[in-house]
Each structure stands twice: as C-alpha cells, then as structure tokens.
Amino acid sequence: MQTVLMEPETEMQTADSKLLSVRVNKIKTLADGIKSFELLGENLPEFTAGSHIDVHVQSGVIRQYSLCNDPRDKNRYVIAILREEHGKGGSKHIHDHINEGDTLYVSKPRNFFALNSNASKHTFVAGGIGVTPLISMLQEAEHRGDAYHLHYFVRSPERAAFVDSLEASIQAGKVSVYYDSEGSCPSLDALFSDFEVNEQLYYCGPTGFMDAMARATEHWPAGTVKYELFTAPVADETAEQAVNTEFQVHLARSNKTYTVNANESIVDALAKHDVIIDISCTEGYCGTCMTRYLEGEPDHRDTVLDDSGRENYLMVCCSRSKSDVLVLDI
C-alpha cells in the first residue's frame, strides 16, 4: 500500500511565517472533553478543506489543529480540541485557560490533506477526534456535488463531536456513526475489503486506529489512500536504525555552505549561523519547515510528503542527506 499525504497546494507553499492575530469569539462544548473555538480576525487567509493551523498556545508551545468549518467562511477559523489528560499540556492549557475574548496567534493555513479533485467518490474514516479535518472536507464535497460517505468511529455517544451538525447527512445515508460502547462497530477489514474505481479514502484518528486502518487498506491501489497523523509514528524497535553521518548544506540564494554534524539537524546547524527556519513538531509530521531543495539526495524522514512532493521538498527538522552536499533553495 502507498499511503499518500499530498504536497500542499501552490498558494500554501509560498505562505510566509508571519503570525495572525485572532480573537476567540465563541467557545462551545461539543462532547465530553471536546470544545470548539471560533477564531475571528481581519483579512484572514482563505483555506481549503483539510487545512490545519499552528496555534501558539504559550511561550514555546505550538500545537497543530485542523480547521473544521466551511472553507467558504470569511475571516473565521474554527478548531476543535480534545482535552488530553496525559498529553504534553497544550490541549489542557487551551481548555482551562483560554476564554472568549482572548487573543491567540496562529499561522497561516497549510494543507497536506486536500481532497482529490479527480476522485469520483470520497470515503472519509474518522476515529474519535480524528473527525476534525474531515468535517470541512465533507462540507466541500457536498458543495461540489461529489459522492461521499463518512464512517465515524467513536467511543460512546457522549464522546461524539459534531453529531448534531451531521444529523441531516446521517439521515441522508451519507454518514455512519459507530459506538464502541454499543458494540455497533463493524470490522475495518470487512468494511474496506473492496473499493470502487476512482474512489479516494481519507482517514485520521489515534495511533491504534491508524495502525488498524493501514492494515485494512493495504491492498488498495497506490495513491488511493491518504491519512493525517496527530503525532509522529512510534519507531519500530525491530527495524534497523539509521546511522546519521555528517554532510554539507549549500544555500543557493546566499551562496553559503555549512556543515551538518551527525548529532544535529539541518535546522539546528543553520541556526548556529543565524539562518532561522520556522519549526513546530520537530518530528516531520506538521509541515511547518518544508523547504525546497535543488540538488542532492535527501534522506526523507517525514510522514507528510508523498513521492511527488519529495522530488522537490524535504522537512529540514528531521530529514538528512544521502549525498555529501544538499543544495537548498534558501
């Protein structure tokens, strides 16, 4: 199976790193432990279905959240956040300390999870809070008049966000909701044992769900399955670990060459010379540090770009170089 996280759209690639100031206009409880935050601002950049933003929670803490409102909305972003008791503290801080009227700073939207415009049918699969990026995607599919179906797996009715807003689609047979607590969840292997010509499948959810979906769709044709991760995947302890070696990065625009030592990232090596690249996750799953390269052979270690995207870009927070010199478009 080839799981595909597409190269972002052109308008997203050239977006600068200037932060946007937004006001928290409305906070709503969607389900147990899940709140939505409506963010308003002037001249907010438009976004496409499947986009996410970086939210600067507090000093040094940045989290990525999917935009779950209609892409046709103007000057409004809506995110939905699960309060994770055993997380790193970002979601708890937002739930417990961010109030209506507060100001937040966010990045411009980026999209590595866009709808396939050539698909004749879109199949969306969500596990719990993984439904958030899919909400805007199915709204866009509805606007286009495309065929689609959302399979929404959730622990219990009390934990199911967006069900009220999805009621019309549920009644129309376009959305199916399955509850673990009621024993109504079908087998993923059985549900996705077959596929249609030109069908595109998209899935998002917690780690166990993602692993199960990967197994259930491994027989699907290359390019027909896309997913989005919450965090970097857990390394396989049985897999052979890559050995880091020293290499050079040449910056084409400034005609400068610097050494990246075996124990440092490209980002860290450049920062020593006051070449600052925005980063967020540092593990290659958020897309913040995507950089174009011009020559050399990158050692890609991200989970964002597909094969096509990797022909031109790399994530400099985690990727390295197989060649002695890597030329970056910086």
Confidence (pLDDT) at 231: 62
pLDDT band at 108 (very low <50, low <70, confident <90, very high): very high
pLDDT band at 211 (very low <50, low <70, confident <90, very high): very high
Q: Where do the DSSP E strands lie in 11-89?
A: 20-31, 34-40, 52-58, 61-66, 76-82
pLDDT band at 262 (very low <50, low <70, confident <90, very high): very high
CA distances from 211 to 27, 89, 229 (A): 32, 25, 11
Residue range 276-296: mean pLDDT, rounded = 85
**What phi and psi, each to the nearest 5 degrees, are found at residue 167?**
-55, -45
User: Is residue 319 scored above 60 in pLDDT?
Assistant: yes
Give me 145's structure tokens.
């008049």
Give me 278's structure tokens.
């925005």
Confidence (pLDDT) at 191: 97
In angstroms, the first-to-last Cα distance of the chain is 34
DSSP notation for 309-325: GGGTEEETTT-EESSSE
Higher pLDDT, 204 or 239: 204
Percent of the chain exceeding pLDDT 70 equals 91
Confidence (pLDDT) at 306: 77
User: Is residue 15 scored above 80 in pLDDT?
Assistant: no
Kindly report which listed range (1-5, 267-271, 289-293) carries the lowest average pLDDT score: 1-5
Confidence (pLDDT) at 234: 52
Domains of the chain: 7-106 (2.40.30.10), 121-228 (3.40.50.80), 247-328 (3.10.20.30)
